[in-house]
A and B are shown apart, each in its own frame.
Chain A
């Protein structure tokens, strides 16, 4: 909040500059939107149907980001550091999920029993991701508790590359294509007059279910309460009899499991996975976590949905209005700019209570 309210009235270049960025960004977005609108009025640009599809696509990707973002958010809540390797946890699930799906497809289960097939694939993916998450916590992060803040972050960057190239070494560098979706899941379905792809519906629904399950777990169970207690104050929680190490490992496990679900959902949307699959979604999910307010579970989900929307709608809505060619190339720029702008506009995120900015004074 400091950002919005300087303590004393004093001219400062940085504040001026930040205000200039804020105003500039607003003007840029407004002009872009107006440009797109004027195009729409002229009958150029996308049709209403295309916009709707973009929104649904955005929501589907966004719910996936939300699931990954949970891992960042929960770990940040408990340990206060960014687990840069979380994107790789997601990748681990997606890649092993591929082998499960392949085996199931060979056995015919994938086609004849789509629900069972998908469920088993998700289970395998969750198991791997959970395992990887717990292992990296045990081996790399636990010995570093209490170290200066940047040290675990650098470790997690190292871990991220280590995992990526371990997976490349283990399973090769080629793209792995999931088996063709069961016929039941191909095509479109109409809900509320919206014709949406069945896969996208499955993704949104699965993510929502996983999210609801996790929310219940964290708010209703003993372990969930322990988790929240540790996020509140680790030392006091330990004094109250919470087994800190176990709960932290559990936090990593739960975050990993969610990333595992997201891994299979990614494969449903894009089919292909490989050892670098985790990198971009990882950073974007972090953006989503910040957007929703890091340390806040509902925030991660909301942030994920918002980021998915920004990313799919933003380029066409804002950049196209400026007459910039091939805006879809700039999708990632929109996501990263969103991160920077959020941290400038509202460092606490949409629903957050934790400050992304140094608490000063």
Chain B
């Protein structure tokens, strides 16, 4: 990137302001033309004043103003008035662009080519009135948004974070309507006690006992107490339903926040962010200063809380949210597997869905009574049950891992990506082909996959809560494997290989073994995911195993943070839970049509701005910013060198 050699002028670089404005106008035209505004307008955020569609437009205006104000203050100190002036100017330019667009779509019929410029969109942009009100809205909205953006750029970082954060919280509470009202409906004293006991117990135990096994025993005991408490206290029942009516207003297109609730959430979040700023900084400093042993104990505590949540929350959530969580978990499981392949070992596998498919098909073929594959070895005979099929699934996945891994061992990263993508497609087409129809059922796939037997009960695919527990169980296994591998000999050889293959090999890392291990372990974890997927839906088709799945999982781990287990979990929750996975809408159904657009955009944005992900692994982040670190070191050396020279003279 060229270093702009701007002389220390005192004049504002107007081109930057203009560019910010034009970019804003472009953003406006883009989201309007591809149909986002119209689709999002059906989702009310705050009832009845704000829909998601207008929120997006507003955000663009504010962002434009923010950039404009920044541009004004780039090379010099700019006063508040000046910043607001330039911010509004950028907003005005954006608004004028938007106004031209409004005039254009009002005057010409462009729908034959641009299919999403519908009458409804025009009505929305006109604010229900004629073209005049549309133009006014665009320009006024641009200027006001720009001014707000400029004000944001003036605020202190804490203030800015608090403001933006609070607004995001309002959005989140609006989006989580299904979850929150479900929880409020189910919530009674019993559950609160049931949740609180294991949490407190776990925290106390981590403090008192310093060891894992004792902790787990104690935790189990407290969970049992919690369950008993929950069942017994149900009759006492302190209902929370009154809160729902306060927070949400029922509308045709779903429920939205009421205005008082939105204000309350905003204020609450704002106060919380500002008040907790000090404690949070201190806590972060304390964590950084902790010795490894202490950190380990805290980690156990966090895991215990997570376990407690995983066990108790689904009881409250109802089948819709549980299904969402189960889907998220299935993707999270794949994410954890791919995290080993990409995050730890640095092998960009784009055909990861093939292993998922192998797991699903192996489970389906071995367990379905309709399957044409049958054998009887005396001690074991088809159709198997889920657990009997598991060893076969694992073996099949391992073989698939070796088959895909071996040919690509000597290929360079980018070739590896395309070749694995090819393998993924080959797998899907083979499952689909007439050639293998006898085994895989062609386009019809395999159906009647039975439920998972579990002692006296069973996990049915339709029982979302139980499926979630099954998924959760496997996620825990995968997370444990990942965690144990991370700092093991294997894990360290992967990281060495990721950073520099040749150096790693010279240092004695067996590249072939390391790569195959990554592929095989990744494949096995993906096959678990596939097996659960098969049970959950009861029927599998080749169409469920397209490249999109690989890409979705890639987005999950990139957004979350490659190489970091909590990062992958966050990525899965955000991406799959909110936006939705393949064929399964997330919380925001409105995003369905734009999911892949947003995935793509996020990939680009993350790579450009934050390649290490939202919750990065420290090591990975350091690798990715190596250049900068080197530059800093060089500059520092340069500076100290100058000092030395000076002191000598």
List residues of A whose CB falls within 8 A of some B CB.
2-3, 12-14, 17-18, 21, 81-82, 99, 140, 143-144, 146-155, 157-166, 168-172, 174, 283, 286-287, 290, 324-326, 329-330, 332-333, 336-337, 339-340, 343-344, 347, 356-358, 360
Contacts and interface: CB of A to CB of B under 8 A. Distances in A.
A326 B34 contact: no
A343 B502 contact: no
B501 A358 contact: yes
Main secondary structure on chain A at its contact with chain B? helix
9 contacts: A14-B406, A149-B412, A157-B350, A158-B604, A165-B34, A330-B435, A336-B422, A340-B423, A343-B411
Given A339-B419, A343-B407, A154 B558 contact: yes
Interface string B510-526: 00100000000000000
Contacts of B433: 326, 329-330, 333
Contacts of B33: 169-170
A339 B418 contact: yes
Contact of A165 (B346, B415, B596): B596
Given A154-B603, A154-B607, A165-B597, A13 B410 contact: no
A268 B54 CA distance: 42
Interface string B418-449: 11011101100110111100000000000000
Interface in B476-513: 501-502, 505, 512
B346 A170 contact: no
A335 to B, nearest CB: 8
A146 B627 contact: yes
Given A153-B414, A171-B115, A144 B434 contact: no
A290 B417 CA distance: 13
Given A143-B1, A150-B346, A161-B600, A344 B407 contact: yes
Nearest 6 CB-CB pairs, A to B?
A158-B603, A169-B34, A161-B600, A162-B600, A172-B115, A165-B597
A210 B415 CA distance: 28
A357 B412 contact: yes
A12 B406 CA distance: 12
A336 B597 CA distance: 26
A165 B594 contact: yes
A18 B512 CA distance: 13
A283 B422 contact: yes
B303 interface: no
Nearest to B350: A157
Contacts of B588: none
B423 to A, nearest CB: 7
B259 interface: no
Interface string B101-132: 00000000000011110000000000000000
B551 A161 contact: yes
B33 to A, nearest CB: 6
Contacts of A324: 435
A140 B434 contact: no
A134 to B, nearest CB: 16
B410 A166 contact: no
B364 interface: no
Contacts of A143: 1, 608
Given A155-B603, A169-B594, A283-B418, A333 B512 contact: no
Contact of A13 (B30, B512, B608): B512
B27 interface: no
Given A143-B608, A360-B502, A2 B410 contact: yes
B597 A162 contact: yes
Contacts of B414: 81-82, 149-150, 153
A332 B429 contact: yes
B624 interface: yes
A168 B597 CA distance: 9
Contacts of A332: 425-426, 429
A136 B608 CA distance: 13
Contacts of B116: 169-170, 172
B237 interface: no
Interface string B612-642: 0000000000011001000000000000000
